[in-house]
C-alpha cells in the first residue's frame, strides 16, 4: 500500500491533509509542488489534478483531489482512529462546516500569496504573465494570479478578508460546547480549519486568539497544537524570519 501526497509545505489545503494523515498514523511519501514556479499547472500535474491546485493524494497510484474529499476517503479506507462523527446529523454538520471553511480560502489567499506567488508573478513581463495565465485551468485562479501580478490586493480588501476570518473564529467560539467543534470529539471539522487558524494566529490577527478574546477557541487551539500529529504535520512559520 502506498500513499503519495503531492503538496506544498505552506498550502493550507495540503496542511489539512498532512494533519489528517498524521492523526491516522499513516506512512506517506511527499512530492513537493512549487506553486510560485507553477508546477501545479504542468501537464504532468494536471493529469492527476485537473484543477491545478495542491494537494493530490495517490493511493496505490489512483489520484484524488480536494482536501476535504481526500480526508473523508482516508477515513473510510483507514477507519482507525475515526475522525468523522458516527452520528449522521453530526456527520452532516461536519460536511457543511468543511464546505464553509473551504469557501473562505479566497480570504486566506489574499494574505498568503503576498509571500509566495506574488513575488514571482509581479516580476513577469506582460508576455510571461500572459503565458502563465494560459496555463491556469480555473478562471477564478487566473483572476487571482492577474491581481497579484499587476494590481495587488488593497488595504481595504485585506481588511475585508481579515473580518471574514475573524467571523469564522466567532462561529467557532459558538461551536465549542464539547471542547471540539462537532459532537464533542476531535474530527475532520477541527482538522479542516486548523491551517486557517494557524495563519490568523501568526500574522493576520494574533490578538484574536487570546483567551480574553475567544476563550473557547484559544483553549481549542492550544489543544490542537499539543497533539503529537500537529508537530509531525509541520505547520512551519509561513513568513521566513527577516
Ligand X SMILES: N[C@@H](CCC(=O)N[C@@H](CS)C(=O)NCC(=O)O)C(=O)O
Question: Interface with ligand X by CB under 6 A: which residues?
Answer: 11-13, 35, 40, 53-54, 66-68, 102, 105, 141
Smallest distance from the beta carbon of 209 to ligand X, in angstroms? 21
Which three cell numbers mark 194? 486548523
Residue 12's Cβ-count burial label (10 Å; 0-12, 13-18, 19+) is: buried
| Other CB atoms within 10 A of residue 50 CB | 13
Smallest distance from the beta carbon of 211 to ligand X, in angstroms? 29
Nearer to ligand X, 64 or 176 (CB): 64
Nearer to ligand X, 191 or 218 (CB): 191
Smallest distance from the beta carbon of 183 to ligand X, in angstroms? 22
Q: Please state whether beta strands 3-7 and 56-59 pair in parallel, antiparallel, or not at all (unpaired).
A: antiparallel
Helices (H), 28-138: 43-48, 67-77, 88-102, 105-112, 117-121, 126-134
- SS3 category, 106: helix
Nearer to ligand X, 102 or 173 (CB): 102
Nearer to ligand X, 36 or 171 (CB): 36
CA distance 4 to 45: 13
Smallest distance from the beta carbon of 128 to ligand X, in angstroms? 16
Nearer to ligand X, 67 or 201 (CB): 67
Smallest distance from the beta carbon of 184 to ligand X, in angstroms? 26
Nearer to ligand X, 35 or 200 (CB): 35
CA distance 207 to 224: 18
Residue 182's Cβ-count burial label (10 Å; 0-12, 13-18, 19+) is: buried
Nearer to ligand X, 40 or 201 (CB): 40
Q: CB-hemisphere CA count at 13 Å for 183?
A: 21
Smallest distance from the beta carbon of 238 to ligand X, in angstroms? 11
18, 7 Cβ separation under 8 angstroms? yes
Question: Which residue matches cell numbers 476570518?
Answer: 165
Smallest distance from the beta carbon of 145 to ligand X, in angstroms? 7
Amino acid at each position: 500500500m502506498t500513499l503519495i501526497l503531492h503538496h506544498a509545505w505552506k498550502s493550507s489545503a495540503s496542511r489539512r491533509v498532512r494533519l489528517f494523515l498524521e492523526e491516522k498514523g499513516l506512512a506517506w511519501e511527499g512530492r513537493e509542488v512549487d506553486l510560485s514556479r507553477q508546477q501545479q499547472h504542468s501537464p504532468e500535474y494536471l493529469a492527476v489534478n485537473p484543477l491545478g491546485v495542491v494537494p493530490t493524494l495517490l493511493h496505490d497510484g489512483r489520484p484524488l483531489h480536494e482536501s476535504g474529499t481526500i480526508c473523508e476517503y482516508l477515513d473510510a479506507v483507514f477507519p482507525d482512529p475515526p475522525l468523522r462523527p458516527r452520528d449522521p446529523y453530526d456527520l452532516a454538520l461536519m460536511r457543511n462546516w468543511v464546505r464553509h471553511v473551504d469557501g473562505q480560502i479566497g480570504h486566506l489567499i489574499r494574505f498568503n500569496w503576498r509571500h509566495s506567488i506574488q513575488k514571482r508573478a509581479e516580476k513577469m513581463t506582460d508576455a510571461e504573465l500572459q503565458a502563465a495565465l494560459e496555463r491556469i485551468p480555473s478562471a477564478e485562479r487566473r483572476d487571482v494570479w492577474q491581481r497579484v501580478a499587476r494590481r495587488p490586493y488593497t488595504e481595504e480588501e485585506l481588511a475585508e478578508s481579515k473580518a471574514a476570518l475573524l467571523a469564522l473564529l466567532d462561529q467557532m467560539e459558538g461551536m465549542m460546547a464539547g471542547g471540539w467543534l462537532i459532537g464533542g470529539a476531535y474530527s475532520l471539522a477541527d482538522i479542516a480549519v486548523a491551517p486557517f487558524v494557524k495563519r490568523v494566529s501568526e500574522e493576520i490577527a494574533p490578538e484574536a486568539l487570546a483567551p480574553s478574546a475567544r476563550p473557547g477557541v484559544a483553549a481549542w487551539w492550544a489543544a490542537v497544537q499539543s497533539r503529537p500529529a500537529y508537530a509531525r504535520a509541520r505547520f512551519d512559520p509561513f513568513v521566513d524570519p527577516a
